[in-house]
Structures are given as C-alpha cells and as structure tokens.
Structure 1
Amino acid sequence: MRNFLFVAAILSFFSCKDNKLDASNVQKGSKVLTSIDTLNLPAPDEEGAKNKFCKVIGWAANKSPKAPAGFTVTRFAEGLKSPRNMIQADNGDIFVVLSNSERSATEKVKNDISGKSKAEVGGDSANRIILYKDRNQDGIPESSTVFLDNLNQPYGMLIVKDRFYVANTDGVWVYPYKSGDTKITGKGKKILDLPAGGYNNHWTRNMIANKDLSKIFISVGSGSNVGENGMENEVRRANILEINPDGTQEKIYASGLRNPVGMSWNPVTGELWTVVNERDELGDELVPDYLTSVKKDAFYGWPYAYFGQHEDPRRKGENPDLVKKTIVPDVSLGSHTASLGLTFYTANQYPQKYRNGAFIGQHGSWNRSSLVGYQVAFVPFTNGKASKSYAPFLSGFIANEAKGEVYGRPVGVLQTSDGSLLVADDVGGIVWRVSYN
C-alpha cells in the first residue's frame, strides 16, 4: 500500500507539472480509465485539503496558448473585462458576454497554501454583451458593438426565433430581436426568477434550447459547497431546470448537479450533456469534476454522494435513499479542474478524430496543493459514446506552476460556423481563436 501511494503521488505530481498528457491518460494521477467501474477513488481526506490560489500575470504580446501541431492560435478579441460565454447567431454574428463575480472582500475569506489569509475580491462586473461581426470568417472581426448593457452578472444567451434570451444570476430575461440587429433597443421582460448568488462563483446561469425550440434548459449551481447552509437554502439549486420559451411550466429536469455550467447536445444520440464543477475540501483527488449525459428526472448525488454512490462524510446517513439513486457520471475530468465550458465539435475543419467529440474549458483549481486544469480538454466520442479519458487540447495557460502563476484561465468554448473554435479567457481578457491549417 505504501508503494502504491508513493507511485500515485509521483504520477499526480508530474500530471500537474506537465500538461502535455497523451489522449490515453487522465490528468487525475495520469491513471488510464478503461471503464468507469474501474475508477478507484481515494478515501476522503478533510484534514488534508489544501489550497493553492493562482496569480494571474497576463499574456505578453508575443504569447499565446499552445494547440496541437497543425493548429493556429490567434486573438479574436482582446482588452475585454472578463469574457465568459459566447454564442453565434445563424447569420454569423458572435455574442460575447462580459461578467464576473461581484463578491466583496469580506464576503469570502480563505487561506492560501502558506497559511496567510486571502480575500477573494470580485469587483464590479462589466454586465454587458458585445457583438462581433466577422463577415469574412477569417478570425478578424470588422466591427464590435455593445449589444446589450446594464445586466446583472449575465452568463447564458440564447436566440429563439425573434427573441434574445439572457440568463442573469437572478433571472431569465427576453428581448425583441431580429437577425442583424447590432443593439437591443426594445424593452426586455423578466420571464423567470432564479435564486441569485452562490458559493465560489456559482452565480453563473447557462441556457440551451432543444431542437424544436419548444423547451429551454437552465443550469443553476448550488449556493454552498456541500449544503452546509441548510438544504432549505438550496431550493431550485444544483439542478438543470426546464421551462417553456415564455417561462412557464418550470420543472426540474435533473438534480444533484453541484454546479452544472456548460451544456451541449450530443450530435449522434441527441442527448443533453453537461460538465459539472464538483465539491471541495475532501483532499487533492476528491471530488472529480465530470462530463455526463443528463437523464431526465435523474439524481447525480449532490450533496449526499459523489461520483456514484460514494457517500459524502459530511452528510453521512442523512439521505440513504437518494444515495442509492445516484447515477455514476460518464467521464471523470480530474478533481478541482473547474470544468465549466462545453461544446461538441460537429464541423469539418478539424481532423476526423475530433468529430463529434467534446471540448471542455477547465478554469483551473484553487482547492488543491498544485495547479490542475487551466486548459481546454478534449474527450473523444465514438458512435455517440464518450471515451473514459481526456487529453489537453489548448494548454500553456500555466506560466510557472511552482509560483502559481498563470497567463489566463479558459471558460466558455464555442464552435463557429467556419469550423474554428473560440475560447473565452476571462482573466486574460481575450477570446482566442483556434483554427486548423
């Protein structure tokens, strides 16, 4: 057992030091996962939980993230205040939402790795949406305009016919819209209230519509790490909600999803998939963030269990019936990677091996002794079924792991109509474009 733990620690160390893992390996301990049933999780270690906060140093003019051979990385847009999420309209217009946490210095205080107190300061959010027009599809926008302003920590955006939807942290708004509009001029209407705020950036609310545009799905993260403030404060949270386009007939589509952010439709099976940012304070290797298909009316564990029927020691014995119902997610994405963005790749520009696979924006860790995440990862799919492993696709965000220095942190990912990929780097203030030569 001592030898096993030693080897596991060494493998974990190198998986954090070197982001260049091959496609057969998983960042969590570089362990090859051939089946979800063989994922061996360590025992919870509440006393051994560590923090290491990153220090953002920004991108120099000659620096950019690294993509595999044959790809080119360029700056689609820069000088932005916290670009988070993106969508593209049918006419090619690209919308980028600018928003960030607005927590005060006294709202959340943590200890960093050296034991010194560190306040997580948010600051004012830009609270706007920028519209970019790239008519030539060359990655160089001809124009940018403020499409919509004075929002409240927006994240999700959606176009349904002649309506433009925005998911603020406290509710869903809809505005009149027609293709080609450069600015929203009509008065918006709030069609759904949502529980606002949340633990450690769980303020983001994403949206996606089904194929026939008859239903809208909204992701709402938990308001706590593991329900420590009482489950009465988690009503309608840690869920994906389903509504009609007018905001009526709200249902809980799936629950027990601690912080689901990215959502996308599997292009082969038609299933809804999501990435989930899992819980903290159980040690370096718990709990894995994950990519999973979302089954209707299914329960995914939070806060009572994790990654299947592993009972959380902090909620031990509280709800055994729900623990037994907990579904095992499809793909482990490594613990504390803060996996947030998600899109399936359906275009022809990239090599065939990327077709129908999933790109995931991993914002990066803080509740771990060394940095993990800080990359765009790729999960291969075959006939609509996910591989049990993932590999780095866009890396180089970590400048100096020992010092905790990073150039930026990727969040949202978007496949554009020309087949390239856009990546929102919120703290770098840049939207990166990744094209294949």
Structure 2
Amino acid sequence: MNSYFTTTILAGTLALLVTPAAAQQAELPDNIERLQNMQSTGTTSFEQIAQDGPFADGIRATLEQIELPEGFQIELYAVVPDARHMAVGPQGIVTFVGTRKDKIWAVTDRNKDRVADEVKDFAPSLAFTIPNGVCFGPDGMLYTVEQNRVLIFPAAEFFYESPDVAVGQVVAQGELIPQEEESFNHSARVCRIGPDDGKLYISLGQPHNVPPPEKLDLYRDWGIGGIIRMNTDGTEREVYTTGIRNSVGHDFQPGTGDLWFTDNQVDGMGDDIPPGEINRQTKMGQDFGFPYYGGGDIRTVEYEAETPPADAVMPVVEMTAHAADLGMTFYTGSMFPERYKGAIFSAQHGSWNRTEPVGARVMVTTLDEEGNATTEPFAEGWLDENGEYLGRPVDVAQLRDGSLLVSDDLAGAIYRISYEGGQ
C-alpha cells in the first residue's frame, strides 16, 4: 500500500472520529489540535527506561521466591515504572502500559525472545492525567481512558515509533464525568471493546468509601459507581452497570459474551469483612447492590436502614476481604494445560489498612459447565513473612504465544509467566 493511500485513509478515519469530539469542545489543547490535523508538534525525544543493571537484578531476585504450580515459571519481562493496566497489540509488536500518573509506556520485544528490549513513553507530546486504562479494538485502534478524557490512537503499533502520533478524541477533556466530581481517589479507569456490539465499555469508580445519599442520583445518571458504554466515536453513551463501588478490571467471557468484573469493597468494617468480588453481568442494567451492600451480602452501616434493590445481583465469587482485586482476563491461549482454558486470571494488589496484610498475588478462577467457580492462588510470594510487600500485581494480559504478562506498580515491572511442563 503506497504512503499517499495510507495517509488518505487514515485522515478520513480521523475526520470521522474527530467530528463528535469537536462538536463537544470548541477549543482543544494545542498539541491535540495539531496532531488531529496531522501536524508536527516539535517534540523530538522519548524517555527511555534502562532494562538492565542493579535495579532489574533486584526484581529478578524477588522473582526467585514466587511460588507457581508445577511446570510454570516467572521471569522479568520489562522494567516499566508505575506499570498498571496493559493492552497487547493485536499485531504482536508492542504492549501499551497505563499508569496512575502521567505516562503511557510502549514496551517492545524486537527480537521475540520474550523479554522486552525497549521501554519508552508513548505520545510524549501529549499531556495525560491518570491514563490507567488502555485497550485495543480488533481493528487495531488503541483506546486510552484517563481521569476525565478518552482518546483513540489509530495505527498505534505503527505511530508509536514517533513522538507525534495520530490521535482522535472519543470523549473530550472534562466530559467523561462532571468536572466537579474529579477526584484523586478511585479514578483509575479500565476499558474493553465489547465482543458483539463493538462498543467501548469503561468503568467509573465513585470517589468515596461510601457515597453520601445526595450524590446517588447524580452518580446513577452519569454511571459513576458503574460501567458505561458508548460507540467508539463517543456517541450513544449509556449506563450499562450500576451498584459498583470501584471496579478496576473487567473482561468478556468467550462464548457467552457475558461481562465479568472485579470490585473493591468498603473499607473500615473490619479485617475480614466485607469480601471482595468477582461479578458476572448477563444483561444491560443489572444492579450489583452498592452502596446498600458493602461487599457480598454485607450491609453498609450508612445504608443499613435503607431498602436495597430487590434484584441486586450477588457476586459469583467472594474474594479475600481487602485483598484489592484489580485486573482480570479470561485465558484463551494454548500454552497452559487444559484445566486453565477459559479460566479467569486476576491480580490482587494487596491490602492497605488490614491489621495483617493480604493479597499481592495472582489468582485463578476456574468455571465448570454449570458455571460454578473455584478460586485459588496461582502466583504468590510478593508479600513476605514479615508482612512486607515486595511487589503489588495490578493487571494480567495474554501474549500471542499464550503466556501471561503481570504488571506490578510497586516494583515498576512486568513479569511473564510461561509453562514448560507436561499436560
């Protein structure tokens, strides 16, 4: 395909994507405007992250004490500061990694030895605010969800080599949630493209431990404390899920298309209650009970005198209280043994206010033909015998070869788990 044709097609795609956002916001930040017009910004350099030396060696030493089922091994894939949620490129070229700060990282394994050769910041000419959520559509479009904006990057696996990238706005700055509701708390969004409808699904955590009653109507209208969906150009936004406190991980089950998601539950009720959750949503509009329930069927003190929704959906799996279940993915690869096909791999970030810390591990949830779930630790050892965190897993993603990547925002790393044992 010649360069003129490629540029023409891309410009047409961007024109379609920019139109709704341009109607929403008359004046765009300078670099967004220049990039949408396919103009250079003058940015010429990247921040590069060293992949060897004492820091990487220290992470490798920690990995020696991680416990896995027989036949599995874990290795350092990349040093990635503040690594949070991951999006593996559909062409297998690059993995994009979000953070809770102001960076998105591009991680490349150029020689395909399953260890990253290069980690550099993505789109350094743009200013990001909590760009935690990254996800790919099947057409190769990369979506990034910030605290209060959603961007789309066509041909991200091609343009990431340059400081300037093709970009469009799905939701303009300040229009994902009301600006007065912007918060430092529970603002790490995640996203997925739905398997059947092709819509963009985005989680919106509500910022409180338990929200005050006067906020409930506003939050329900916007989908704060829920999951929203919209067309990939930002139109036809609607609230898909309600009754969630702060979900930072979701995925669609292969075969059924059902939406499964983790949820972090209420603090301050005790070490052992309420439980964390893995939930299953089978249709639009289901309510999962928060803030009337703090986790599982445990009522919150603030709403114990109120009548909860009669049709509130209880979790499929109750997880260890305060372990902070975050990213999750269904396993669809062929590398792992048969028992893991269709299983959910999820990351527990670890507790912050429990008397005895828990979590900091990767869990696996297997489902039988009747839909019954069994959950057990899969990779653990980041919480040592002294109660010290040596790492805090955030997200799990699958490489094309069927191995798993695990991000860790404490160590600032991505690990790769592979299988070499017999079936």
Corresponding position of 1:158 = 135
Alignment partners' CA distance in 2, 1:367 and 1:216: 34
State yes or no: 1:433 paired with 2:416.
yes
Preserved CA contact (<8 Å) 1:199 1:225: no
SS of the equivalent of 1:275 reads strand
Q: How many residues align?
A: 349
1:292-307 residue pairs with structure 2 within 5 A? 292-295=279-282, 296-307=284-295
> Which deviations, in whole Å up to 9, do the C-alpha atoms of 1:356-388 show, x marking residues without a partner?
10011000012321111110011112237241x
Corresponding position of 1:272 = 259
Residue type matched to 1:372 in 2?
V
1:41-56 residue pairs with structure 2 within 5 A? none
Distance 1:198 1:223, change over 3 A: farther
State yes or no: 1:218 paired with 2:218.
no
TM-score (norm. length: structure 2): 0.77
Match of 1:246 among 230, 233, 252: 233
- Sequence identity, in percent? 30
Corresponding position of 2:7 = none
Distance 1:307 1:143, change over 3 A: closer
Q: Report deviation, 1:355.
A: 1.0
Unaligned runs of 5+ in 1: 1-57, 101-124
Match of 1:408 among 377, 388, 391: 391
Match of 2:107 among 132, 139, 151: 132
More helix by share: 2
Further displaced range: 169-178 or 374-383 = 169-178
Corresponding position of 2:245 = 258
Distance 1:59 1:88, change over 3 A: same
TM-score (norm. length: structure 1): 0.74
1:328-339 residue pairs with structure 2 within 5 A? 328-339=314-325
Residue type matched to 1:398 in 2?
L
Structure of higher RCO (CA pairs closer than 8 Å, 6+ residues apart): 1
SS of the equivalent of 1:353 reads helix
Match of 1:396 among 381, 388, 401: 381
Residue type matched to 1:289 in 2?
G
Q: Report deviation, 1:75.
A: 0.5
Residue type matched to 2:154 in 1?
P
Q: Report deviation, 1:287.
A: 1.2
1:9-408 residue pairs with structure 2 within 5 A? 59=58, 61-64=60-63, 65-78=66-79, 80-100=80-100, 125=101, 127-149=102-124, 150-160=127-137, 161=139, 163-177=141-155, 179-182=157-160, 183=162, 184-191=164-171, 193-195=175-177, 201-212=185-196, 214-228=198-212, 230-231=214-215, 234=219, 235-295=222-282, 296-307=284-295, 309-318=297-306, 320=307, 322-383=308-369, 385-387=371-373, 389-401=374-386, 404-408=387-391
Residue type matched to 1:169 in 2?
Q
> Which deviations, in whole Å up to 9, do the C-alpha atoms of 1:396-416 show, x marking residues without a partner?
101234xx3111100011011
Preserved CA contact (<8 Å) 1:268 1:383: no
Distance 1:162 1:332, change over 3 A: closer
Distance 1:410 1:257, change over 3 A: same
Alignment partners' CA distance in 2, 1:330 and 1:289: 11
Alignment partners' CA distance in 1, 2:249 and 2:206: 15
Q: Report deviation, 1:185.
A: 1.9
> Which deviations, in whole Å up to 9, do the C-alpha atoms of 1:266-325 show, x marking residues without a partner?
12322111111111111111111111112321111111124455432221223x1x4322
Further displaced range: 192-201 or 371-380 = 192-201
CA RMSD of aligned residues (A): 2.3
More strand by share: 1
Distance 1:146 1:247, change over 3 A: same
